[in-house]
Amino acid sequence: MLLLLLLPAWSADVPASSEATVAAYEATEVVWVRAKPEATSARRGRLVPGYAVTVGEFVDGPGCEDAWAQLDGGFACSTWLVPSELPVEGVPRLIAFDPPTPDEYATYLTDKTWDMAPLDEAPALLPFVYGKRWRSWQGHVWAGPEHYAHGDDPVGRLSRSSKHAFVDAVDTERGVVLVDDDGRAVPVDEVFVYPVDRFAGRDLGEQPVPEGRVAGWVHGYDGATLYDAPGGEARGTLAYHQSIDLDAVPASNDGRWWRLPDALGAGEDGYVDGSREVRRWVPMAPPSGVEDALWLDIDLDQQVAALRRGEQVLFLTLVSTGLGKHATPRGVYRSTDNMAWTDMANAAGAEEVYHVEKVPWIVHFWPRYAVHGAFWHWGVGHPASHGCINLAPRDAQWLSAQLGPARPDGWHTAFADEAHPGTVIRVRSGTGDVPDRR
């Protein structure tokens, strides 16, 4: 880990050209990272305020009023960089806040409260707190937390047209408020806070699949009914999103019924309806060019994603892909960028209008199509998107760190190039043919 060194007290300016240093700097505005110390060089990434990067040295080059700062993987014009005492760390930071769980949704709609942990004990799940003005949540806005605490009048209201991303949660004498980019405060009981899915996929190194079995999950919202035989008597229910290991061979000739060994007790098997209530991993040989590389394999039929190295399956999880006319296009792709977050909106002229602030952990693989986190639904295992591949937040954070192009610490965005390639992503339907779009 690099030590963060402050610049000498006699100068807060950028060091002279070629002067060696190892120091932390942060951007004062959005700054492009270039492949070379030239303003016309290809973009390698992007920095945003609030995060520090390590600068190795400063060099001269065209297109920058001051020297170019050499980073880990590119160059940024130092005109918009200042020395920083922030730690050099991965982007984004997570906020300690305990949003409702999906199980609390019904009661939250009724009484507008949930079992929220105190901020100093809350889990860190997402880089923002997401909410909206909706129904009886009126979205009144105060100039800042202190103004709300003092009992001042509100200065406005949230727009109804957006899903809002708040950058902080603050405990005041009058209760918790959510703070936006401009420092304005909204009381937590004035905004509908999106329930967040705690679902996470399966690391096969830690939880290997027994021989002769296939990994699966319950995806029926009401769980999966356990039967004592295919089409037999109901004997119990498995929970929504419960991880299961099925017999690798279907228990009925039509492939509908699957055996779950010992599900009803030692030596007493259960059976589930795989066509309606269960998702499972369906293997398929890799595409060309991934023999020793990490790559992502997505099955639209089963709504399952696998992180693989060549033939090997390392990690499995549920996803939500495009629904109806917004179907996710099949193909073999290579990812083009890796972002900490970005706003997402409908295309110009689209029938359905939407705007979502700061969607987290974005990896694009085709224009307007990406693998990303989704905070606004908890339906992984069901098609639900406008064409992108949605992941539960914990999976999105973890997978974005595995997929290329890698984002160096402190970078908001990294773009793929020949020296920093993207990850192969295959989107298939079962084991059918897939066009190569790389």
Break the chain into its structural domains and give their ranges.
Answer: 20-83, 95-193, 202-280, 294-428
- 287-327 pLDDT, tens digit each: 999 999 999 999 999 999 999 999 999 999 999 999 999 99
Neighbour count for residue 65 (Cβ, 10 Å): 8
CATH code of 202-280, in short, is 2.30.30.40
Q: Which amino acid is at 257?
A: W
Q: Is the pLDDT of residue 13 over 90?
A: no
Q: Is the pLDDT of residue 1 over 90?
A: no
More reliable by pLDDT, 14 or 84: 84
DSSP assignment of 77-138:
EGGGEEE--S----SPPPEE--PPPGGGHHHHHHHS---PPPGGG--EEESSEEEE-BTTB-
% pLDDT > 90, the chain: 92
| φ, ψ dihedrals at 270, nearest 5° | -115, 165
Q: Is the pLDDT of residue 19 over 90?
A: no
- 47-80 pLDDT, tens digit each: 999 999 999 999 999 999 999 999 999 999 999 9
Q: 20-83: which CATH topology?
A: SH3 type barrels. (2.30.30)
What is the per-residue pLDDT for 348?
A: 81
Q: For 29-35, what is the mean pLDDT?
A: 98
% pLDDT > 70, the chain: 95
Residue of 422, 412, 259, 395 lying closest to 319 (CA atoms): 395
∠ CA 236-238-240, nearest 5°, is 145
Residue of 77, 83, 35 lying closest to 69 (CA atoms): 77
What's the CA gap between 219 and 42, in Å, rounded?
A: 44
What's the CA gap between 259 and 226, in Å, rounded?
A: 10
Sign of CA dihedral 388, 390, 393, 395: negative
What is the per-residue pLDDT for 21?
A: 56
Banded pLDDT at 9 (limits 50, 70, 90): very low
Q: Please identify which residue in the block is written with the tokens 């970078």.
A: 411
What's the CA gap between 229 and 269, in Å, rounded?
A: 8
DSSP conformational letter for 312? E
What's the CA gap between 251 and 253, in Å, rounded?
A: 7
Banded pLDDT at 347 (limits 50, 70, 90): confident
Name beta bridge partners: 331: 427
Instruction: Evaluate whether the domain defined by 294-428 bears CATH number 2.40.440.10.
Output: yes
Neighbour count for residue 143 (Cβ, 10 Å): 16
Q: Is the pLDDT of residue 3 over 60?
A: no
What's the CA gap between 254 and 275, in Å, rounded?
A: 10
Asked, colleague to colleague, whether 20-83 and 202-280 share their fold, the answer is: yes
Banded pLDDT at 5 (limits 50, 70, 90): very low
